[in-house]
């Protein structure tokens, strides 16, 4: 059967973040055909999102100013009336802490089921029982970052609403729909295609990665991926699969999500790695660092290495100039999307010194960023228990510098 892969068209639309002039073409990584018809809506969504963030920060600032005013006025009055300085200072300190505690802030949320929620795209999503158990028993991991969820979706927004968070402090539905599009592996394919045009290096791999909506002729040495999944779920290789079984699985992906991604399976893979970023409210992109992780042959996640950037960089084994070029490219392109928050771009290196620069893009918090945070706090070769120890169930921790999630039946 003939392949049907994504391709660019000549129409144009503008989905740039307000304040940044930009034109894109349909089929480019920054817009889709459906997105073009609602470009003004997406721009409005980006404005609304930034306004929400500004309002939240303004409330925090006002609360801090008000708190300091209370501290100053109360301290002055009490000091004039009494010499019992310590007692009044303690009372004022507690009062100020109360003010800080009521400032608008989204509580951190560990919800790794978010990728599954993106796939079904509903507000009321119930993950499989084992995933629910994992989220419940590993919720302490959320203490590692300041605020917000592991990932955004309609279901995540609904969870915050049920917590009593005001809707004006949460992203709009239009923005969440755009995040779902960006989080799809179809977008990763389009993004990679544009990157390889912009950086035509012989050291870069990935030209065989493609998005398809029909089953092409079966090939050996391939890896297939669903459009939305995480931690290696929804990923399988052609290893040990008959043609009939392979076709059956691909038909399942088409039926469930409308497409799938096909890529070459690199038998000479040397290292799984990633570049980690954070996009601020105004669209500025910060490179947080490199991460190195271990995944099984079928893509199932095993662990991240908690080490210094110098050590991780040496493990990647690719020339600095190429990596710096990629970092600058990503910073520019990510800042042109409507997304705000953490981003991880997974890569892989091969034994002949080449690099697949975009295996997939995770528009969410991820284990690589968590590993960076833990290194800043505990250093290398750390041994830290991050969640309660259990005889049965899930637990997470760092052992001998390796961050992992374990399960005991």
Q: What is the pLDDT of residues 160-191, one digit of tens each?
A: 999 999 999 999 999 999 999 999 999 999 99
- Predicted pLDDT of residue 373: 97
- Predicted pLDDT of residue 65: 60
179 within domain boundaries = no
How much of the chain, in percent, has pLDDT values that exceed 70? 74
pLDDT tens across 187-209, in order? 999 999 999 999 999 999 999 99
Question: According to DSSP H, which parts of 297-400 are helical?
Answer: 309-316, 320-335, 367-378
pLDDT band at 7 (very low <50, low <70, confident <90, very high): very low
Q: Which residues have a Cβ under 8 Å from the Cβ of 89 and sit 6 or more positions away?
A: 75
Tokens (6 digits) for 112: 């790794």
Distance, CA of 385 to CA of 397 (rounded, Å): 4
Cβ-based burial of 238 (10 A; exposed 0-12, middle 13-18, buried ≥19): middle
**DSSP secondary structure letters along 68-120:** HHHHHHHHHHHHHH-S-HHHHHHHHHHHHHHHHHTS--PPPB--TTHHHHHHH
Distance, CA of 337 to CA of 227 (rounded, Å): 19
pTM: 0.78
74 within domain boundaries = yes
User: For the chain, what is the domain count?
Assistant: 1
- Predicted pLDDT of residue 46: 53
Which segment of 102-116, 187-201, 301-315 scores lowest on mean pLDDT?
102-116
255 within domain boundaries = no
pLDDT band at 71 (very low <50, low <70, confident <90, very high): low
- Predicted pLDDT of residue 300: 86
Q: Which residues have a Cβ under 8 Å from the Cβ of 378 and sit 6 or more positions away?
A: 306, 384, 398
Tokens (6 digits) for 341: 């928050």
80 within domain boundaries = yes
Distance, CA of 198 to CA of 184 (rounded, Å): 22
Which contiguous run of DSSP H or E holds residue 405? strand 402-408
Work out the average pLDDT over 236-262: 92
211, pLDDT greater than 80: yes
Q: Are 365 and 371 in contact (CB under 8 A)?
A: no
56 within domain boundaries = yes
Strands 393-399 vs 402-408: parallel, antiparallel or unpaired:
antiparallel
pLDDT band at 49 (very low <50, low <70, confident <90, very high): low
Q: What range does the domain containing 85 cover?
A: 41-101
- Predicted pLDDT of residue 113: 95
Which contiguous run of DSSP H or E holds residue 353? none
Q: How far is CA 228 from the centre of its chain?
A: 12
Q: Would you tell me how many other CB atoms lie within 10 Å of the CB of residue 162?
A: 8
Q: Are 261 and 211 in contact (CB under 8 A)?
A: yes
pLDDT band at 229 (very low <50, low <70, confident <90, very high): confident
Work out the average pLDDT over 103-121: 90
Q: Which residues have a Cβ under 8 Å from the Cβ of 345 and sit 6 or more positions away?
A: 274, 275, 276, 277, 330, 357, 358, 360, 361, 362
pLDDT tens across 384-407, in order? 999 999 999 999 999 999 999 999
Nearest Cα residue to 217 out of 177, 256, 250: 250
- Predicted pLDDT of residue 146: 83
73 within domain boundaries = yes
90 within domain boundaries = yes
- Predicted pLDDT of residue 77: 54
- Predicted pLDDT of residue 97: 44
348 within domain boundaries = no
- Predicted pLDDT of residue 200: 94
86, pLDDT greater than 70: no
User: Distances from the Cα of 1 to the Cαs of 68, 212, 216, 302, in angstroms?
Assistant: 70, 12, 5, 36
φ, ψ for residue 283, nearest 5 deg = 90, 5
pLDDT tens across 267-279, in order? 999 999 999 999 9
Work out the average pLDDT over 215-227: 88
- Predicted pLDDT of residue 297: 85
- Predicted pLDDT of residue 230: 73
pLDDT band at 53 (very low <50, low <70, confident <90, very high): low
């Amino acid at each position: 059967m003939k392949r049907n892969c994504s391709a660019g068209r000549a129409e144009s639309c503008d989905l740039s973040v307000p304040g940044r002039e930009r034109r894109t073409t349909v089929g480019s990584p920054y817009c889709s055909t459906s997105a073009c018809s609602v470009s003004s809506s997406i721009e409005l969504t980006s404005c609304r999102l930034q306004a929400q963030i500004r309002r939240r920060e303004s409330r925090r600032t006002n609360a801090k100013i008000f708190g300091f005013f209370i501290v100053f006025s109360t301290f002055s009055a009490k000091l004039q009336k009494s010499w019992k300085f310590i007692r009044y200072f303690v009372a004022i300190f507690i009062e100020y802490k109360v003010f800080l505690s009521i400032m608008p802030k989204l509580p951190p949320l560990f919800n790794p089921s978010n990728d599954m929620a993106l796939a079904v795209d509903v507000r009321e999503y119930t993950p499989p029982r084992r995933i629910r158990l994992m989220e419940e028993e590993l919720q302490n991991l959320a203490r590692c970052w300041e605020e917000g969820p592991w990932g955004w979706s309609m279901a995540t927004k609904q969870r915050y609403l049920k917590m009593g968070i005001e809707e004006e402090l949460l992203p709009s539905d239009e923005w969440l729909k755009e995040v779902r599009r960006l989080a799809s592996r179809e977008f990763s394919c389009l993004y990679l295609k544009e990157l390889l045009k912009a950086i035509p290096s012989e050291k870069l791999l990935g030209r065989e990665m493609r998005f398809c909506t029909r089953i092409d002729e079966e090939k050996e040495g391939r890896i297939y991926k669903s459009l939305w999944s995480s931690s290696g779920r929804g990923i399988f290789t052609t290893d040990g699969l008959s043609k009939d079984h392979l076709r059956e699985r691909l038909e399942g992906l088409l039926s469930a999500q409308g497409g799938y991604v096909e890529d070459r399976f690199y038998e000479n893979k040397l290292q799984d790695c990633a570049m980690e970023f954070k996009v601020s409210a105004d669209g500025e992109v910060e490179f947080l660092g490199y991460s190195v992780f271990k995944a099984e042959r079928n893509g199932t996640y095993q662990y991240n290495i908690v080490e210094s950037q110098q050590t991780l960089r040496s493990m990647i084994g690719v020339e600095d100039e190429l990596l710096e070029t990629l970092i600058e490219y990503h910073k520019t392109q990510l800042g042109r999307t409507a997304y705000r928050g953490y981003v991880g771009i997974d890569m892989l290196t091969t034994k002949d010194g080449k690099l697949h620069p975009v295996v997939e893009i995770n528009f969410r918090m991820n284990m690589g960023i968590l590993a960076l945070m833990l290194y800043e706090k505990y250093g290398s070769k750390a041994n830290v228990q991050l969640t309660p120890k259990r005889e049965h169930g899930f637990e997470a921790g760092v052992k001998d510098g390796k961050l992992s999630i374990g399960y005991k039946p």
